[in-house]
Chains A and B, each alone.
Chain A
Amino acid sequence: MAKHKGRGVSAIEYPTGMNQNGDPSQAWIKIKPDGRVDVFSGTSDIGNGSKTIQSQIVAETLGVPYDWITYDNSNTDSSPVCTGTFASRATFVAGNAVLKAAKQARERLLDIAAKELEIDPADLDVVDGEVVAKGAPQKKISVPDVAAAATWTYGELITGTGAQLNPYAAIVEPDTGRVDLPPHAAISYAACAAEVEVDDETGEVRVERLWQCFDVGKAINPTLVEGQIEGGALMGLGLAVLEECYPYYPSVEHRGSEFGSYLAPGIEGLPEVNTIIIENPSADGPYGAKGISEMANNPQPPAIAAAVYDAIGVWVTELPVTPERVLRALEQKREPRREGRAVIFDEELSVNTVAAEDSRFRYEIPV
Chain B
Amino acid sequence: MCSDHRKPNRRRFLSNFAFAGTALATGVGSWVIRPDWANAAADPIKVGIATDLTGPIGYAGNADANVAKMVVKEINDAGGLLGRPLELFVEDTASNESVAVGNVRKLIQRDKVDLVVGGVTSSMRNAIKDVIVARGKTLYIYPQLYEGKECTPYLFCTGPTPAQQCDEFIPWLIKNGGKKFALPSANYVWPHTLNVYARKVIEANGGEVIFEEYYPLDQIDFSATVNRIISNKVDVVFNTVIPPGVGPFFKQLYEAGFLKNGGRLACVYYDENTLNINQPAEIEGLASCLDYFKALTPEDPVSAKIQAAYDKQFPGTFLFAAGSAATGTYRGLKLWETAVKEAGKVDRDAVAAALDHAKIAEGPGGPAEMVPGKRHCKMKMYTAVAKGGNYEIIARSNGLVDPKEC
Asked if A and B bind, the verdict is no
